[in-house]
Amino acid sequence: MVEETPWGLRNVGVPHYEQFLHPVIKKNYGKWAYHEHVKPGVIKHVAESGDVLYTIRVGLPKYVSTQTVRELCDIADKYSQGYIKFTSRHSATFFATDEETVDKIIQEVESKGFPVGGTDHSLKSIINCVGWTHCHTAATDSPSIAKALYEALYDYFKSYDKLPERLKIAVSGCLNMCGATHASDIAIIGVHRKAPRVIDEDVKAFCSVPALVKICPKYAIRPKKGDPRSVEIDEEKCMYCGICYGECPGLPIHDPKNDGVSIWVGGKVPSTKKGPMNSRLVIPYLPNNPPHWPEVVDAVKKIVDFYVKYAEPDERLGETIERIGWEKFFKLTGIPFTDKHIDDYVFSYMEFRKGVTFKHT
């Protein structure tokens, strides 16, 4: 935002959000009486003043071209008084003050191939990180997995009453979790399973050995015996995080044979009911199998089927599992419990279930 300061006109940060609010929102800010879900993707908001505003949610892919953004803005100019909101879950929201305009917006965006949905008890837009396309630490192709999952679960996005509560799915290409996977009901996270390779010539040409020794969170990197201008990695200590590859192109971690994905469940952000929850590992490894990712899709469908069948109304996936017990979750989904599920992180004892009671089925 450009503002007059004692030093002249200066850019002083992001513009105040208020100037971007739709006029009906601005007028009734903080004075809303209620809202209702009138159809998939459409929420009717009613203000204490009697004003009505419909919001229409449209699913978008992670990447959209400038041309697509222009097309969406044209629709906003035509029906939405020039207002459009892009959400952090890869959706766009349009605004309308009457039902006729709602239908026109839905018709126009769907004619361009963008589905309207993702509100109330539905599958929200699947979010994903950039994956292989832009990131050097990715162990998988996050956007491609998100697309395969969308295709399998599309009906849940287009409906608003087939799920017990909202369902959030996210895909991250590696354990850095840029796709908000720690707090999603179902998370797909790329995993490396081998320590980085060391290319001595590249380490010597491009990298600082002290910086590499310092950057490893597990102290697994040390100067190479007999050749201290390069490094060696203690594979016992390495946790395959890929941080050293970001520092040095001489330590590539990609491994087409061993890289793959893990599946985690039960994360959520809201403070309702059980409060915020972190997702937990349920499947330690599935192979990378593009373009349709059958193993990942089957596993996620199995978990969603479990959720639909066993959750109580208004219960998130993690809450259902906590209620019936993790033993029963593994049994009902048929997912094997292995030694990989036991968390050996030094501070993880805080999270351990300390009671002696097991919920046997």
Residues that bind ligand SF4 (CB under 6 A): 129-131, 135, 137-138, 142, 172-174, 176-179, 195-196, 216, 218, 220-221, 233, 238-244, 253
| DSSP letter assigned to residue 174 | S
Closer residue to ligand SF4 in complex, CB, 125/176? 176
Q: How far apart are CA 218 and CA 207, in angstroms?
A: 19
Closer residue to ligand SF4 in complex, CB, 109/216? 216
Closer residue to ligand SF4 in complex, CB, 178/207? 178
Residue 287 β-bridge partners: 260
Closer residue to ligand SF4 in complex, CB, 217/270? 217
Among 93, 111, 105, CA closest to 57: 93
Q: How far apart are CA 68 and CA 53, in angstroms?
A: 25
User: Quick check: helix, strand or coil at residue 172?
Assistant: strand
Closer residue to ligand SF4 in complex, CB, 210/334? 210
Helices (H) and strands (E) in the chain, counts: 10, 14
Closer residue to ligand SF4 in complex, CB, 119/128? 128
In 3-state terms, the chain is what percent helix, strand and coil (to 5)? 35, 20, 45
Closest distance to ligand SF4 from the beta carbon of 174 (Å): 3
Q: What's the first-to-final CA gap in the chain, in angstroms?
A: 60
Closest distance to ligand SF4 from the beta carbon of 127 (Å): 11
Chain centroid, CA 265 distance in Å: 12
| DSSP letter assigned to residue 223 | E
Closest distance to ligand SF4 from the beta carbon of 62 (Å): 11
Supply φ then ψ for residue 78, to 5 degrees.
Answer: -75, -45
Maximum CA extent, the chain: 79
| 150 Cβ contact list (under 8 Å, min separation 6) | 59, 126, 157
Closest distance to ligand SF4 from the beta carbon of 78 (Å): 35
Closer residue to ligand SF4 in complex, CB, 132/306? 132
**In 167-292, where does DSSP find H-type helix?**
200-206, 209-215, 243-247
Closest distance to ligand SF4 from the beta carbon of 144 (Å): 13
Structure tokens at 6: 């004692």
Closest distance to ligand SF4 from the beta carbon of 58 (Å): 24
Closest distance to ligand SF4 from the beta carbon of 241 (Å): 4
Closest distance to ligand SF4 from the beta carbon of 267 (Å): 15
Whether 343 and 351 have beta carbons less than 8 Å apart is answered as yes
Q: How far apart are CA 119 and CA 199, in angstroms?
A: 50
Closer residue to ligand SF4 in complex, CB, 56/187? 187
Closest distance to ligand SF4 from the beta carbon of 215 (Å): 6
Closer residue to ligand SF4 in complex, CB, 220/317? 220
Closer residue to ligand SF4 in complex, CB, 59/179? 179
Q: How far apart are CA 48 and CA 32, in angstroms?
A: 6
Q: 73-76 long-range contacts, Cβ below 8 Å, gap at least 24?
A: 75/105, 75/108, 75/109
Closest distance to ligand SF4 from the beta carbon of 61 (Å): 16
